[in-house]
Chains A and B, each alone.
Chain A
């Protein structure tokens, strides 16, 4: 098929440019001397200085990183073991448990937030870091689980069999053969979890305690109450971190796979499946 016109390329270019417009503006205005963002007062780094002196902001950043680390580690353990276990054991409850454990990325975040908040209140868990970690782990498990499961399906079973034939026990086979082969999938699952956790506003708002701020919550309340260019500076730095992460994930080896979504990835994957159908 030949492209007779340049129209499609122009279209892609224009839409992509619009996607980047708000981001570019945020970056530009972070270097703005003037406090009013509609006026350009000359180049300045003073908002970065303000930002670096903002202890509360750093505390929120620290909380967010700890939270994202804990949630993605927890999800890595639960998701990897679960996906592995299901390939070994045939249980009648498998599809039900699989379905329920995937729910956190299928149902709207607002429901998840509501559900966690009321449940934690019911069982009397004090709101704070613990509740944040539990809630974030819940929506991170599906990412790790799905990526590891996909890897397990495509894995060469003969390696594990060979190890078993040579006398290795199940545990040894898992740690020596299976786990190393799964590492890329686990890492990409964790990376995705980390990014999702770091970006989450809705669920965090519901399950956080009075004294615990995460970075997105802090940014959200700041944006709501009044705009300071300090936020621009923060956003620029976060953007830089994001770009490093994306590049890193590409280096890690096709880790940042295209079809990675906050919501229901299975649908997207399923959607790809039926396409190369029989011609009839």
Chain B
């Protein structure tokens, strides 16, 4: 605003400030926008006979997705993401909610405890699950020791193992999102609801849940989207039995060398992603977000 008052003087000074934006503009244009645009272009191009891409417009790559094999991968991957996300909600929401109610001292401690695995390489943490799930591994030993099972369960390289891996790798995103929402919540509103005669359940559903919904939803986005793409989890814990959209893209790129098809798959995944984010924005905007800023 002040700049408008003395335009001449400021403008001269600003000319240098322009330079500070140059790296961001150049980098974003060349190394973010450029590659993304190329993905769209590539998805309409034709695969060359042996290697590479021919510049010939086609919609075949998108049609290909509807082949039963690939469509099935999408559906299965979606189901896995849904299962993982629901489990993450079920485990992470109460955690974030309870954590927000802890005394300040304990909040800090729990946060630190959460941060260490969070900063730890995801590969290390997955590797630990191999030790647990492997035939005659920790879990088998435990269950057989308790007399619950007779022989090894052979859980490694199964669907449940992949789900556990996903939940484990992404749980913290949910916890932190819910926590940040619940932490800023005005708890007196819940008390008010209780004073006005609402049962604890009703107070939770009408007040707490509603106010922590943005956290919950952003947690859903933060976990659902990656769980369609984290192919190395499916790879390590699922063997080759569980194929994600991410695994499919990787295979098309590295093994089948069908880049246009990989691009088309990525475009679809990208559209799904942005749909979810814009849906989130709409939902949270419509819930009394207007009056705040």
A residues sitting closer than 8 Å to B (CB atoms) are 1, 3, 8-9, 11-12, 15-16, 19-26, 29, 37-38, 77-79, 81-82, 84-86, 88-91, 93, 97, 100-101, 103-104, 106-111, 114-119, 122, 134, 137-138, 141, 145, 170-171, 195, 198-199, 201-202, 205-206, 216, 219-220, 223-224, 227, 231-232, 235, 238-239, 242-243, 245-246, 250, 256, 258-264, 267-280
Contact = CB atoms under 8 A, between A and B. Distances in A.
A118 B259 contact: yes
Given A134-B31, A270-B218, 16 more contacts: A3-B101, A16-B110, A22-B127, A38-B141, A91-B21, A104-B32, A115-B266, A118-B259, A119-B38, A205-B250, A239-B120, A246-B116, A260-B118, A264-B221, A270-B214, A277-B292
Interface residues of chain A: helix, strand, loop or mixed (majority): helix
User: Which 3 A/B pairs are nearest by Cβ-Cβ distance?
Assistant: A22-B128, A82-B24, A119-B35
Interface in B101-124: 101-102, 110-124
B33 A201 contact: no
B36 A250 contact: no
Interface string B13-35: 11011101111110110011111
Given A1-B191, A118-B42, A224 B128 contact: no
B171 interface: yes
A141 B24 CA distance: 9
B127 to A, nearest CB: 6
Interface string B24-58: 11011001111110110010000000000000000
A268 B176 contact: yes
B220 to A, nearest CB: 10
A23 B124 CA distance: 7
Given A25-B131, A82-B24, A264-B222, A19 B117 contact: yes
Given A89-B17, A238-B124, A267 B218 contact: yes
